[in-house]
Structure 1
Amino acid sequence: MWNLNFEIPEQKDQVNDNRDLRPKMIGRWLENLPRANIGVMAKQIYTLLVESNALKLPPSERSKLLQQLYDPIDYILKAMEKHYIGLSLPFPEKNQKIALLTQSLLQEMIIAHKSIVFDSLHDEKPSKNRLQLATVMQNHMAFNNRLLLCLHLTYSAIPKEFWREQCLILQYAEQLSITDLAVFGNSSPWSVI
């Protein structure tokens, strides 16, 4: 059995006072987000990600949540890029905060994908969900790549476990023989696995 040794937050069982994470409720919640105010929208989605990453969720439920967040996250990231791409350093304080929020959003998406991969280790037959796992791993790597680009463009330090975790994901994908699977309909137009 594999030991990926990922850094993910401690996850607790859901309690009644937590947000309703059913797809229908999240869909309604997303519809009511203030799309005209990117900062507020980004902070609300970031809060949702932090809360959901701290909960024990079945991989299928977490995966459905992430599927619903891909388009809003992409919308937010594209809108925030103009506040730090191509600017001379040092950034004004507002632009620094926007770059940090971008990095934080990407890191929370990465944590969510790592959680699904980590939970798959305890699945007795991970090979039965090969395509789903390949999609999750591809999206994990795509968000890692976006984070790496953001860090590069803002002259920020790379997290200390970044490359080790990338290699572990790829090794696990190779062990499951899913590196040759074509992955479509995800957060990236190409597969990186």
Structure 2
Amino acid sequence: MPSDDEAKFKLLVAAANLYASVSQAFEQEPDCARTAGDERERYAAALIKVAQFFSDQGSRRLGDRFFELSSAVAELNEGTIHPLLRPVRSPNRPAEPSQRWRARARVALALEALIRSGLSPSYAATRLVVKAPSIGKLAGPKARTSPLKTTVLGWRKQLSTGRAKNFQAQELLREGLAKIQGLTKKELTAFATSQLKEVRAYSELSTVLNAQ
């Protein structure tokens, strides 16, 4: 029977192999055109590696769950929609994706950090949209008729007052606000920059996932 140290070592090796396998799945055929279909294939391949990881660790039941998810994602490219991925019908207008609201929360955090660094809300918002014009991709159809600076200020208000009905974005904002408590002006500016990097990453991924 392996000792605790041996078991921990094997788990660390398995986790390292999983990391390498998942990374490889997303980096395969990097020169191919990045479309939503290509991304689904990458996700499906990565999920198979996760399934194998759990199966190898003795949890076949968990492994099977991830394998089925991989299969469901892959079948979308064949036009088959697994019940797990079929959206629930809503009598109201469909809510915007959480991915977009999380990116808006990042913008709101960057704005808040700049304001706390000493900038006025208006100037801080202007600075953000100049440094990261890709923020405009986060705006909805109605918001696109308004100046982007006004839209950014609106996201901050919506999220800070709880009017944005998206739990993930609200939690991201709450955690971010806790992180910037007591930061220096220089640290606040650096934090704002880091949030904008996340927003740019969203914009790149969004372009890929919306490609036909």
TM-score tier by shorter-chain length is under 0.3
What is the TM-score normalised by the length of structure 2?
Answer: 0.23
**TM-score for the superposition, normalised by structure 1:** 0.25
Report the structure, 1 or 2, having the larger helix content: 2
Larger Rg: 2
